[in-house]
Amino acid sequence: MSNPLVKIAEIEAEMARTQKNKATNGHLGLLKAKLAKLRAQIVTEGTKGSGGGPANAGFEVSKTGDARIGFVGFPSVGKSTLLNKMTGQESEVASYEFTTLTCIPGIVLYKGAKLQMLDLPGIIEGAKDGKGRGKQVISVAMSCSLILIVLDVMKPLMQKRKIEYELEGFGIRLNRKPPNIVFKKKDKGGIALQVAQGCTLQDIDEEGIINVMKEYKVHNAQVSIRCDATVDDIIDVLEGNRKYCPALYVMNKIDQITIEELDIISEVPHHCPVCAHHEWNMDGLLEMIWQYMALCRIYTKPRGQIPDYTAPVILPDGRTSMEDFCNKLHRSLLGQFKVALVWGQSVKHNPQRCGKDHILMDEDVVQIIKK
Ligand SMILES: Nc1nc2c(ncn2[C@@H]2O[C@H](COP(=O)(O)OP(=O)(O)OP(=O)(O)O)[C@@H](O)[C@H]2O)c(=O)[nH]1
Ligand SMILES: [K+]
Ligand SMILES: [Mg+2]
């Protein structure tokens, strides 16, 4: 089989040649599906044997703490400087590119949570296709619950666009929710496609969708689309392994620009201006990190005592049920669980008796009553 990188280049060239209009939408959609499949192939080849092969040496940092935050950016934007100032680590800093060659972890304690921060080598264009150590860097980013895209404030928009392109190409979706598409494979019956009322397909029609699905060798399935879906959304659902991840654009080196230039940068959504070197706005960045991760702090309350507010149990966003809470406290706790008393935002009455399915919210207080 010919080299997937060569094939990718060929398809990209063909896409560039093809004018975008109604008549070519279907064909372009198919090309996109082919591209996505080739990239998936590169990604699986690149991460095969991870944890051993020389390609991954220096990247196998074990997960510790309550959440993991990865620093991704071009060389010499100040990722290591930022890690050092935030965590007290000593990751090597220098004025030349590719100073950092492996993954360097640091820890920050904030609001009772232990945040693992990962400094990473700089990535360049073509990272997702295997250039430099980009693939390893992006694989680590894939394991994070927040990605800090560190940009040099002197050329932020060009860098932002290129990094996004690399991460997107690897299947990471930044600051987005999964498309509302329900897809069920079947054994027979062909493809039953349903587009919900009020939803419009963007750059593809129903026939185009069916062709893309055939490209993925799906011939029998039930698909219901409940959003204004694009062909990329359809491909994401078919690939099935996309990572939806919050991201912050850290605009570093603001000591180099004027107040007027700072105004322009503040138009960029999800951004945080800092100067790592002089430690400007480190607190602001930490608070933004905290908000974007949306971690949930739950305080436990022993019977007849006041809760321990210094040591919350930290639950990740979207996994804050009473069951998640019990499992985080102790593996055997769920078996002994009878009911819980809950005080806080998630309940109407204080306290309220809640079961295993109850969804907890930040700063709730919980007292578990065992069987
Ligand atoms: N003016 C200015 N320079 C900075 C700032 N932060 C970092 N630098 C400088 O930028 C250069 C690169 O910093 P590093 O922290 O090594 O950058 P990096 O992104 O880790 O670089 P690689 O590991 O090579 O990808 C160093 O000379 C730093 O002193 C800043 O806020 N302002
Ligand atoms: K550097
Ligand atoms: Mg570095």
Q: What is the DSSP string of 190-201?
A: -EEEEE-TT---
The CATH-assigned architecture of domain 54-176+243-291 is 3-Layer(aba) Sandwich (3.40)
* Whole-number percent of the chain with pLDDT over 70: 94
Token pair belonging to 11: 């398809």
> pLDDT at position 39, please?
75
Given a cut of 60, is residue 313 above it in pLDDT? yes
> How far apart, in whole angstroms, are the C-alpha atoms of residue 12 and residue 351?
59
> How far apart, in whole angstroms, are the C-alpha atoms of residue 72 and residue 138?
8
> pLDDT at position 356, please?
97
For residues 98-102, give the mean pLDDT.
87
251 CB less than 6 Å from ligand 1?
no
Per domain, the residue ranges of the chain are 4-48+179-239, 54-176+243-291, 296-370
Minimal CA–CA distance to 191: which of 125, 259, 238?
Answer: 238
CB-count burial class (<10 Å; 0-12, 13-18, 19+) for 204: buried
Q: Which atom of ligand 1 is nearest to the CA of 150?
A: 19
Domains 54-176+243-291 and 296-370 fall in the same CATH topology? no
- pLDDT class of 161 with cuts at 50, 70, 90: very high
Output the CA 291–ligand 2 centroid distance in Å.
29
The CA-based diameter of the chain, rounded to the nearest angstrom, is 73
> How far apart, in whole angstroms, are the C-alpha atoms of residue 51 and residue 87?
26
> How far apart, in whole angstroms, are the C-alpha atoms of residue 130 and residue 39?
10
> How far apart, in whole angstroms, are the C-alpha atoms of residue 240 and residue 126?
23
DSSP 313-338: EEE-TT--BHHHHHHHH-TTHHHHEE
174 within 8 A of 147, measured Cβ to Cβ: yes
DSSP for residue 175? T
φ/ψ of residue 2, rounded to 5: -75, 160
Minimal CA–CA distance to 179: which of 139, 127, 224?
Answer: 224
The residue written with tokens 């279907």 in the block is 26
Neighbours of 343 (CB within 10 A): 18
Output the CA 356–ligand 3 centroid distance in Å.
45
Given a cut of 70, is residue 290 above it in pLDDT? yes
* Whole-number percent of the chain with pLDDT over 90: 75
Q: Which atom of ligand 1 is nearest to the CA of 100?
A: 23
Residue to mutate (ligand 1; options 277, 279, 281; most atoms within 8 A of CB):
277
Output the CA 260–ligand 2 centroid distance in Å.
27
Output the CA 72–ligand 3 centroid distance in Å.
10
Atom 10 of ligand 1: nearest residue by CA position: 78
> pLDDT at position 44, please?
61
Output the CA 261–ligand 1 centroid distance in Å.
20
Given a cut of 80, is residue 252 above it in pLDDT? yes
Output the CA 251–ligand 1 centroid distance in Å.
12
99 CB less than 6 Å from ligand 1?
yes
246 CB less than 6 Å from ligand 1?
no
Neighbours of 218 (CB within 10 A): 16
Which pTM was predicted?
A: 0.86
Residues 257-266 have pLDDT tens digits of: 999 999 989 9
> Measuring CA to CA, how many Å separate 198 from each of 123, 204, 214?
41, 16, 26
The residue written with tokens 């070197």 in the block is 277
∠ CA 21-26-29 to the nearest 5 degrees? 100
Token pair belonging to 143: 């394991």
Q: Give the ligand whose atoms come closest to the C-alpha of residue 78.
A: 1
For residues 96-103, give the mean pLDDT.
87
Output the CA 98–ligand 2 centroid distance in Å.
6
DSSP for residue 312? P
φ/ψ of residue 286, rounded to 5: -60, -40
> pLDDT at position 57, please?
76
Given a cut of 90, is residue 119 above it in pLDDT? yes
Q: Which atom of ligand 1 is nearest to the CA of 122?
A: 25
> Measuring CA to CA, how many Å separate 90 from each of 84, 127, 134, 253, 328?
6, 26, 22, 19, 31
Residue to mutate (ligand 1; options 72, 76, 117; most atoms within 8 A of CB):
76
CB-count burial class (<10 Å; 0-12, 13-18, 19+) for 4: middle
Residues with CB under 5 A from ligand 3 (ion): 79-80, 99-100
The CATH-assigned architecture of domain 296-370 is Roll (3.10)
Provide ipTM, 2 decimals: 0.99
- pLDDT class of 136 with cuts at 50, 70, 90: confident
**Residue 92 pairs with which residues in a beta bridge?**
none
